[in-house]
Chain A
Amino acid sequence: MHDLIKKLFVKELGNPLLNKLGDAAIFKTGSRLAFTTDSFVVSPIFFPGGDIGKLSICGTVNDLCVSGARPRYLSCAVIVEEGFGYSDLEKIVLSVKMTCKKAGVDIITGDFKVVEKGAADKVFITTSGVGDIYQGASLSIERIRPGDKVIISGTIGEHGAAVLLAREELKFKAKISSDCAPLNGLTSAILNKGIKFMRDPTRGGLATTLNEIAIDSGYNIGIEESKIPIKESVRVLCEALGMDPLYMANEGKVVVIVAPEAEGKVLSIMKKHPLGRKSVIIGEVKKERNKRVYLKTRIGGKRIVDMLSGEQLPRIC
Chain B
Amino acid sequence: MKYIDEFRDNKIAKNLAHAVSKKAEGLRPLSIMEVCGTHTMSICNFGIKDMLPANINLISGPGCPVCVTPKSYIDKAMAFSKKPEVILTTFGDMARVPGSDSSLMEEKAKGRHVRIVYSALDAIELAQKNPGKKVIFLGIGFETTSPTVAASLVYARKKKLKNFFVFSGHKVILPAMEALVKDGDVKIDGFLCPAHVSTIIGIKPYTLIAGKYKIPCVIAGFEPVDILQGIWMVLEQIRSKRPKVENQYTRVAKDSGNKKALALINEVFSVKDSEWRGIGTIRESGLFLNRKYSGFDAERVFSIKPVKTRPDTGCICGSILKGLKAPFDCPSFAKTCTPEKPKGACMVSSEGTCAAYYKHRI
A interface residues, Cβ below 8 angstroms from B:
169-171, 226, 232, 235-236, 239, 242, 292, 295-306, 309-310, 313-317
Chain B: which residue is nearest A299 at the CB level? B13
A-B contact pairs, 21 of them (CB 8 A): A171-B118, A239-B1, A239-B4, A242-B350, A298-B46, A299-B51, A300-B17, A301-B47, A303-B47, A303-B360, A304-B360, A306-B359, A309-B340, A313-B92, A314-B91, A315-B91, A315-B92, A316-B93, A316-B141, A316-B349, A317-B142
Given A309-B339, A314-B118, A317-B65, is A300 in contact with B196 using a C-beta cutoff of 8 Å?
no
Contact A315 B362 (CB under 8 A): no
Contact B93 A315 (CB under 8 A): yes
- Please report the C-alpha to C-alpha distance between residue A304 and residue B139 in the assembled complex, in whole angstroms: 33
Instruction: Tell me how far the C-beta of B54 lies from the nearest C-beta in chain A, rounded to whole angstroms.
Output: 15
What residues of chain B lie closer than 8 Å to A303, measured between beta carbons? 44-47, 50, 360-362
- Please report the C-alpha to C-alpha distance between residue A299 and residue B66 in the assembled complex, in whole angstroms: 29
- Please report the C-alpha to C-alpha distance between residue A292 and residue B359 in the assembled complex, in whole angstroms: 12
Contact A317 B196 (CB under 8 A): yes
Shortest Cβ-Cβ A-B pairs, 5 listed? A301-B47, A313-B92, A299-B13, A309-B339, A303-B360
What residues of chain B lie closer than 8 Å to A301, measured between beta carbons? 46-51, 224
B181 at the interface (CB under 8 A from A): no
Given A316-B66, A317-B65, A317-B196, is A302 in contact with B50 using a C-beta cutoff of 8 Å?
yes
Instruction: Tell me how far the C-beta of B227 lies from the nearest C-beta in chain A, rounded to whole angstroms.
Output: 10
Instruction: Tell me how far the C-beta of B110 lies from the nearest C-beta in chain A, rounded to whole angstroms.
Output: 16
- Please report the C-alpha to C-alpha distance between residue A250 and residue B17 in the assembled complex, in whole angstroms: 35
| A interface footprint on B185-208 (CB within 8 Å = 1, 0 otherwise) | 000000000001000000000000
| A interface footprint on B45-66 (CB within 8 Å = 1, 0 otherwise) | 1111111000000000000011
What residues of chain B lie closer than 8 Å to A292, measured between beta carbons? 361
Contact B1 A314 (CB under 8 A): no
A-B contact count (CB 8 A): 101
Contact A170 B350 (CB under 8 A): no
Instruction: Tell me how far the C-beta of B171 lies from the nearest C-beta in chain A, rounded to whole angstroms.
Output: 12
Given A304-B361, A309-B340, A316-B140, is A297 in contact with B350 using a C-beta cutoff of 8 Å?
no
- Taking a contact as CB atoms closer than 8 A, the residue among A295, A296, A300, A310 that contacts B339 in the complex is A310
Contact B14 A299 (CB under 8 A): yes
Given A226-B10, A236-B1, is A314 in contact with B339 using a C-beta cutoff of 8 Å?
no
Contact A297 B1 (CB under 8 A): no
What residues of chain A lie closer than 8 Å to B93, measured between beta carbons? 313, 315-316
Chain A: which residue is nearest B66 at the CB level? A316
Instruction: Tell me how far the C-beta of A157 lies from the nearest C-beta in chain B, rounded to whole angstroms.
Output: 14
Contact B118 A170 (CB under 8 A): yes
B116 at the interface (CB under 8 A from A): yes
Contact A315 B350 (CB under 8 A): yes
Given A298-B10, A309-B338, is A317 in contact with B92 using a C-beta cutoff of 8 Å?
no
What residues of chain B lie closer than 8 Å to A236, measured between beta carbons? 1
- Scoring B65, B142, B196, B359 by chain A CB atoms within 10 A of each residue's CB, the highest score goes to B359
Given A299-B224, A316-B141, A317-B145, is A232 in contact with B196 using a C-beta cutoff of 8 Å?
no
What residues of chain A lie closer than 8 Å to B10, measured between beta carbons? 226, 298-300
B38 at the interface (CB under 8 A from A): yes
Contact A316 B4 (CB under 8 A): no
Chain B: which residue is nearest A226 at the CB level? B10
Given A315-B349, A315-B350, 8 other A-B residues pairs in contact with their CB atoms under 8 A: A299-B46, A301-B51, A303-B47, A306-B358, A306-B361, A310-B340, A313-B95, A315-B91
- Taking a contact as CB atoms closer than 8 A, the residue among B1, B116, B140, B225 that contacts A313 in the complex is B116
- Please report the C-alpha to C-alpha distance between residue A292 and residue B1 in the assembled complex, in whole angstroms: 29
B246 at the interface (CB under 8 A from A): no
Instruction: Tell me how far the C-beta of A15 lies from the nearest C-beta in chain B, rounded to whole angstroms.
Output: 42
- Please report the C-alpha to C-alpha distance between residue A300 and residue B16 in the assembled complex, in whole angstroms: 12
What residues of chain B lie closer than 8 Å to A300, measured between beta carbons? 10, 13-14, 17, 47, 51
- Taking a contact as CB atoms closer than 8 A, the residue among B45, B338, B351 that contacts A315 in the complex is B351
